Amino acid sequence: MKRNEFLHLTGAGLGAVALSSACSLLDAPEMRVCTLAELEAVPYRIEKFNGRKIFLTLREGNVVIFSLICRHKRCTVAWEESREQFECPCHEGVYDREGEVVDGPPPAPLHRFKHEIRDGDVWVLNAYEG
Ligand code: FES
Protein backbone atom coordinates (compact mmCIF):
# COMPACT_ATOMS: atom_id res chain seq x y z
CA MET A 1 0.00 0.00 0.00
CA LYS A 2 1.31 3.42 -0.92
CA ARG A 3 1.84 6.06 1.77
CA ASN A 4 -0.91 8.38 0.54
CA GLU A 5 -3.39 5.47 0.28
CA PHE A 6 -2.60 4.54 3.89
CA LEU A 7 -3.05 8.14 5.09
CA HIS A 8 -6.33 8.41 3.20
CA LEU A 9 -7.71 5.20 4.76
CA THR A 10 -6.46 6.12 8.24
CA GLY A 11 -8.01 9.57 8.03
CA ALA A 12 -11.31 8.14 6.85
CA GLY A 13 -11.29 5.68 9.75
CA LEU A 14 -10.63 8.36 12.35
CA GLY A 15 -13.36 10.51 10.86
CA ALA A 16 -15.81 7.63 11.07
CA VAL A 17 -14.94 7.07 14.73
CA ALA A 18 -15.39 10.76 15.51
CA LEU A 19 -18.75 10.96 13.75
CA SER A 20 -20.14 7.79 15.29
CA SER A 21 -19.76 8.92 18.91
CA ALA A 22 -21.07 11.80 20.98
CA CYS A 23 -17.89 13.69 20.38
CA SER A 24 -14.88 14.29 18.27
CA LEU A 25 -11.45 13.04 19.21
CA LEU A 26 -10.51 16.57 20.27
CA ASP A 27 -13.34 16.97 22.78
CA ALA A 28 -12.75 17.09 26.53
CA PRO A 29 -13.85 13.86 28.23
CA GLU A 30 -15.57 15.72 31.08
CA MET A 31 -16.14 19.15 32.57
CA ARG A 32 -17.11 20.52 35.97
CA VAL A 33 -20.22 22.62 35.35
CA CYS A 34 -21.33 24.02 38.70
CA THR A 35 -22.07 23.00 42.23
CA LEU A 36 -25.21 21.03 42.96
CA ALA A 37 -26.32 23.89 45.25
CA GLU A 38 -25.99 26.36 42.36
CA LEU A 39 -28.16 24.14 40.16
CA GLU A 40 -30.74 23.70 42.92
CA ALA A 41 -31.04 27.49 43.24
CA VAL A 42 -32.30 28.05 39.67
CA PRO A 43 -34.88 26.40 37.39
CA TYR A 44 -32.16 25.46 34.90
CA ARG A 45 -28.74 26.38 33.55
CA ILE A 46 -27.52 26.59 29.98
CA GLU A 47 -23.79 26.04 29.55
CA LYS A 48 -21.36 25.10 26.80
CA PHE A 49 -19.55 21.78 26.73
CA ASN A 50 -17.12 21.08 23.92
CA GLY A 51 -18.52 24.03 22.01
CA ARG A 52 -22.14 22.87 22.14
CA LYS A 53 -24.95 24.05 24.39
CA ILE A 54 -26.20 21.83 27.19
CA PHE A 55 -29.23 22.28 29.45
CA LEU A 56 -28.97 21.27 33.09
CA THR A 57 -31.93 20.94 35.38
CA LEU A 58 -33.38 18.81 38.16
CA ARG A 59 -36.18 16.34 37.46
CA GLU A 60 -37.71 14.91 40.66
CA GLY A 61 -34.49 15.79 42.48
CA ASN A 62 -32.20 14.13 39.92
CA VAL A 63 -29.73 16.02 37.74
CA VAL A 64 -30.54 15.79 34.03
CA ILE A 65 -28.30 17.20 31.32
CA PHE A 66 -29.79 17.52 27.84
CA SER A 67 -27.87 18.20 24.68
CA LEU A 68 -29.48 21.18 22.97
CA ILE A 69 -28.54 19.82 19.54
CA CYS A 70 -31.63 18.89 17.53
CA ARG A 71 -31.73 15.26 16.39
CA HIS A 72 -33.04 16.27 12.96
CA LYS A 73 -30.29 18.35 11.36
CA ARG A 74 -28.32 19.52 14.39
CA CYS A 75 -29.66 23.05 14.88
CA THR A 76 -29.56 24.35 18.45
CA VAL A 77 -32.92 24.06 20.17
CA ALA A 78 -34.20 26.61 22.69
CA TRP A 79 -35.95 26.00 26.00
CA GLU A 80 -39.32 27.76 26.14
CA GLU A 81 -40.08 28.07 29.83
CA SER A 82 -43.73 29.14 29.45
CA ARG A 83 -44.57 26.08 27.32
CA GLU A 84 -42.11 23.79 29.12
CA GLN A 85 -40.69 22.47 25.88
CA PHE A 86 -37.63 22.63 23.68
CA GLU A 87 -38.22 24.20 20.27
CA CYS A 88 -36.06 24.00 17.20
CA PRO A 89 -35.99 27.16 15.06
CA CYS A 90 -34.96 25.37 11.86
CA HIS A 91 -37.91 23.10 11.01
CA GLU A 92 -40.27 23.59 13.97
CA GLY A 93 -39.28 20.45 15.81
CA VAL A 94 -40.66 20.32 19.35
CA TYR A 95 -39.52 18.23 22.32
CA ASP A 96 -41.28 17.99 25.67
CA ARG A 97 -39.64 18.72 29.05
CA GLU A 98 -38.20 15.19 29.08
CA GLY A 99 -36.66 15.67 25.64
CA GLU A 100 -39.18 13.43 23.86
CA VAL A 101 -40.31 14.45 20.37
CA VAL A 102 -43.85 15.84 20.32
CA ASP A 103 -43.95 17.54 16.92
CA GLY A 104 -42.00 18.09 13.72
CA PRO A 105 -39.33 16.10 11.93
CA PRO A 106 -36.84 15.09 14.66
CA PRO A 107 -36.45 11.30 14.50
CA ALA A 108 -35.40 10.80 18.11
CA PRO A 109 -35.40 12.40 21.58
CA LEU A 110 -32.76 14.88 22.68
CA HIS A 111 -29.63 13.18 23.91
CA ARG A 112 -28.95 13.20 27.64
CA PHE A 113 -25.37 13.41 28.80
CA LYS A 114 -24.03 11.16 31.50
CA HIS A 115 -22.92 13.03 34.59
CA GLU A 116 -21.45 12.54 38.04
CA ILE A 117 -21.72 14.42 41.32
CA ARG A 118 -18.30 14.70 42.94
CA ASP A 119 -17.92 16.44 46.30
CA GLY A 120 -21.00 18.53 45.60
CA ASP A 121 -19.95 19.49 42.08
CA VAL A 122 -21.81 18.53 38.90
CA TRP A 123 -19.60 17.06 36.20
CA VAL A 124 -20.79 16.38 32.66
CA LEU A 125 -19.22 13.42 30.89
CA ASN A 126 -18.70 13.25 27.16
CA ALA A 127 -21.05 10.30 26.67
CA TYR A 128 -24.75 9.95 26.23
CA GLU A 129 -27.09 8.00 28.50
CA GLY A 130 -28.84 4.95 27.14
S1 FES B 1 -32.96 20.80 12.71
FE2 FES B 1 -34.39 20.79 14.32
S3 FES B 1 -36.28 20.34 13.36
FE4 FES B 1 -34.83 20.32 11.75
Closest CA to 52 of 129, 130, 126, 118: 126
* CB distance 101 to ligand 1 below 6 Å: no
Q: Is residue 2 part of a domain?
A: no
Residue 11 lies in a domain: no
The CATH number for 66's domain is 2.102.10.10
Residue 16 lies in a domain: no
Say whether pTM exceeds 0.85.
Answer: no
Q: How many domains does the chain have?
A: 1
Give per-residue pLDDT as tens, 60-114.
999 999 999 999 999 999 999 999 999 999 999 999 999 999 999 999 999 999 9
Give the nearest ligand 1 atom to 77 CA: 2
Range of the domain at 51: 27-128
